[in-house]
Amino acid sequence: MNDYWFCDWQPSERWPHYTRANAGEVLAPPASPLGQTFTWDNGTIIGWRDGYIRQGYFTENEMSEYRPEVGGFFGGFFYINLSNVRMQGVRNPTVTIKDLDLAFFGDHPDVPDYEEHPDDVNEDLTDGILAHMGWVMSATEWPEVDDAKERTIALRSDRPDLKSMPMEAIVEYARSLQPWLVETYNTHCVAASSSGIAPGILGAVGEAIGDMTVPMKCITGLGDVDSAAPSYYLWDLSRTVVKSEVLTSAFEEGISDLLERLEASDSSDAIGFLSSWNEFIFNYGSRGPNEYEIIADSWETDPTIALALLDRIRLQSDEENPSERHAKMAQSRVETVEEVRGKLAELGNDELSGQFEAALVAGNVMVFQERSKSNFIRVINEIRVAFEELGNQAVNLGHLSNHKHIFMLTDDELETYVADPAAMRVKLEDRFAMYEKLKELEPPFFIKDGIVPPLSTYRKLGSEQVESAVAGDVLVGVAGSPGTVTGTAKVILDPTDPFAIEPGDILVAPLTDPSWTPLFMTAGAVVVDVGGQRSHAVIVSRELGLPCVISVTNGTKKIPNGSQIEVNGSTGEVTIL
């Protein structure tokens, strides 16, 4: 293997620090060449840059037109540009670098220190940033994102018959979707970048009244979180399975050919289930593990992934209904808000009371964040299914041995490839073999000072030896979602293999993205290795009413699988019992 992947970027001299924090949530394995160049280099990254400019943090010409410095790919792995993100702390008078670092990294010990660059401070941007802050603290709805939701749903409804299209037309269709990546990630960048504002203000309120649990309690149970919607649907579907002897028996025979068996059945229960299942896949099939990466299967391209999740959820008792848990969290939020208002009134601090009310409104951005992400994911999946069909056609014509090899192309090779698909067969096979080797490596969490270590220095994935925690040990992370639960720790590294987790077990994961959300339905609590206050694990745990602790460094290595642990989502402590 070469020391550098052929798609790698050059690190920025202006903003030289990069991190896998949050990046690992959206792209855990290395990016495929087509995934990186088609969906990121020529789509997503551009929308990201535009979103930063839209919020007032950068001038129009401050970042590059091609591969702007908001992120980067090194060793095939995706990174967020930490130095660039920190401009929000430098240029926004209401946010500090310390606040940003906490939101991104929690308590991670290796965060590089901030060193000021002569061009960092730009007071000409202040008015625009404050105007954006005013919008965040007053917006109760965002029609632009709601409209994009309807239009991206229509993309699925209006999808052409890809199987009947020639290869050139499939590429043309995929190219028509690239502007959608720019548009939807623009709004997602705005929401994601702004989602730390409410917790920051609420933290100051909590400090003033002597209760540091205020931030999480006041942004728990917000409701209408799009990434949680598939879980609610699966819950309802699981109750249908539980009530039917025909469906329960079918699931107990296994899920590998479950849909085929049900399709061959004349049972009304089977027919009704298939109708609901098809509706689920149509509405939520864009989701799946590593869903930002087009080589990865979604629930649509591999339904067994979602069926495996449903198979776990059906084992839960009716008392675990997530809607009821959410209702309890929402009521707790209402009670906390009233309690805080009373304490602030006692203090007689009108300014702090006003900030508190503004922060409550700013919490809506977390809902916007998940909705804008869902819009983006729908576009990603439309591109995925187009290239899946391109690969299938190449296999049928004898030009590829594996349809996934199509994702070893780069954006600028597509038209050349479809003109003569036989010519690149060996090159794509060689790239795929190298790509599979990349997936065995563990990238560094930080790239500092623009120094990218060669691939030969990367550790093998899972090779790091970490001493296991023992009874009595307390692992300290960051409080994510309130509550205390005791249960059996189940360390899960792959959301496509959920069978190790039983109802009430505590999910211990390296990180989570929306494909993990149905596993939350089975879990009694959630612990993750990395993540900040605006990470997916926190937002969904609060929606579903689960205690959650984030940023437990090496938690998946330290917490013995099968051990009894106590998770305190209010203090951020995980105790081995």
DSSP string, 1-34: --SS-TTPPPPPSSS--EE-TTHHHH--SPPPHH
Cα separation, 526 vs 546, in Å, equals 7
Contact 492, 502 (CB under 8 A): no
Give domain status of residue 152, yes or no. yes
Inside any domain, residue 325:
no
Quickly list H helices, 397-443.
414-419, 425-438
| pLDDT tens for the chain, residues 1 to 577 | 688 999 999 999 999 999 988 787 788 899 999 999 999 999 999 999 999 999 999 999 999 999 999 999 999 999 999 999 999 999 998 888 887 777 666 667 788 889 999 999 999 999 999 999 999 999 999 999 999 999 999 999 999 999 999 999 999 999 999 999 999 999 999 998 898 888 888 888 998 999 888 887 888 777 777 878 888 899 999 999 999 999 999 999 999 999 999 999 999 999 999 999 999 999 999 998 888 999 999 999 999 999 988 998 898 888 888 888 788 888 888 999 999 999 999 999 899 999 999 999 999 998 899 899 999 999 999 999 999 999 999 999 999 999 999 999 999 999 999 999 999 999 999 999 999 999 999 999 899 999 999 999 999 877 777 889 999 999 998 888 888 999 999 998 877 666 678 888 999 998 887 667 777 877 899 999 877 666 778 878 887 788 999 889 889 999 999 999 999 998 899 999 9
Q: What is the CATH number of the domain that holds 482?
A: 3.50.30.10
Q: By three-state DSSP, how is residue 572 classified?
A: coil
Instruction: Judge if 414 and 502 occupy the same domain.
Output: no
Query: Is-contact 67 48, C-beta < 8 A?
Result: no
What's the domain range around 399? 18-195+363-438
Do 156 and 53 belong to one domain?
yes
- The whole-angstrom separation of Cα 54 and Cα 90 is 17
Report the C-alpha gap between 108 and 477 in whole angstroms: 9
- Clarify whether residues 377 and 515 are in a common domain: no
Task: Tell me, yes or no, whether 189 lies in a domain.
Answer: yes
CB neighbour list of residue 250: distance below 8 Å, 6 or more residues apart? 258, 261, 262, 265, 270
- Structural domain count of the chain: 2
Residue 171 C-beta-side C-alpha neighbours within 13 Å: 22
> In which residue are the tokens 């009874």 written?
471
In a domain, 524, yes or no: yes
| 230 within a domain of the structure (yes/no) | no
- Answer yes or no: do 30 and 149 share one domain: yes
DSSP type of residue 35: I
What Å distances lie between residue 129 and 98, 122, 137, 202, CA to CA?
18, 11, 13, 20
Residues 48, 187: one domain? yes
Contact 440, 460 (CB under 8 A): yes
- The angle subtended at Cα 516 by Cα 478 and Cα 309, nearest 5°, is 140
Assess whether 174 and 70 both reside in one domain. yes
Residue 7 lies in a domain: no
Q: Identify whether the C-beta of residue 133 lies closer than 8 Å to the C-beta of residue 56.
A: no
* Residue showing tokens 């792995």: 77
Same domain? For 168 and 92 the reply is: yes
Q: Could you tell me if residue 321 is inside a domain?
A: no
Give me 162's structure tokens: 């890809």
- Give, as one character, the DSSP assignment of residue 484: E
Q: Does 88 reside within a domain?
A: yes
Query: Do 40 and 178 belong together in one domain?
Result: yes
- Provide the edge-to-edge strand list for the sheet that holds 71-74: 71-74, 77-81, 18-19, 446-447
The residue from 438, 464, 489 where one domain ends is 438
Strand partners, 486: 566
The pLDDT of residue 499 is 65
Burial 426-439 (b: 16+ CB within 10 A, else e): eebeebbebbeebe
For residue 160, what are the contacts with CB-CB under 8 A and spacing of at least 6?
173
Q: 245-252 and 268-284 are packed helices; what angle lies between their axes, rounded to 10 degrees? A: 70
Question: Do both 491 and 412 map to the same domain?
Answer: no
Which of 416, 438, 460 terminates a domain? The answer is 438
| Same domain, yes or no: 421 and 520 | no
Strand partners, 549: 479, 527
Q: Are 508 and 385 within one domain?
A: no
Separate counts of helices (H) and strands (E) for the chain: 25, 14
Looking at the structure, tell me whether residues 47 and 177 fall in a common domain: yes
pTM of the model: 0.89
